[in-house]
Amino acid sequence: MAVSRIVRAYSELVNQWQLIVERPISKEAKHEECMSLLREFIDGLAWTRIRGLDRPLRFYADMLVLEGLLRPTFATDELGEVAIRPGYFLVKDWLDEHRRR
């Protein structure tokens, strides 16, 4: 997936997260729903790499882009608490586990 498509798709993901955060449900429920959407987003990234050369490397690059997009520098509100920061650490942990040595 091209970087610009990832950025557009990520922007839509954040919009979906914002709708969840605005609902009158518990923070735990918001977190679970947001992480479910993030997993679907990552699955979509993986499926775009099902064909082609260097699939693992390209998916890893997609995850690096996603890590950059999720960087929680200014995520100090509820959206940051239930979606952005946990999402960032989920992606960062995956990258750490799959880092090529």
pLDDT at 101 over 90: no
For 87-100, what is each residue's pLDDT tens digit? 999 999 999 998 86
* Stretch 76-85: mean pLDDT: 94
For 38-74, what is each residue's pLDDT tens digit? 999 999 999 988 887 888 889 999 999 999 999 988 8
Separation of alpha carbons 42 and 67, rounded Å: 11
State the pLDDT at residue 71.
92
State the pLDDT at residue 100.
66
How many CB atoms are closer than 10 A to CB 16?
17
pLDDT at 76 over 90: no
pLDDT at 1 over 70: no
Structural contact between residues 40 and 64, judged by C-beta atoms closer than 8 angstroms: no
* Stretch 12-19: mean pLDDT: 97
> What are the angstrom distances between the C-alpha of 63 and each of 28, 29, 44, 99?
25, 25, 12, 11
DSSP secondary structure, the chain, as one string: --HHHHHHHHHHHHHHHHHHHHSSS-HHHHHHHHHHHHHHHHHHHHHHTSSSSSHHHHHHHHHHHHHHHH--TT--SHHIIIIIHHHHHHHHHHHHHH---
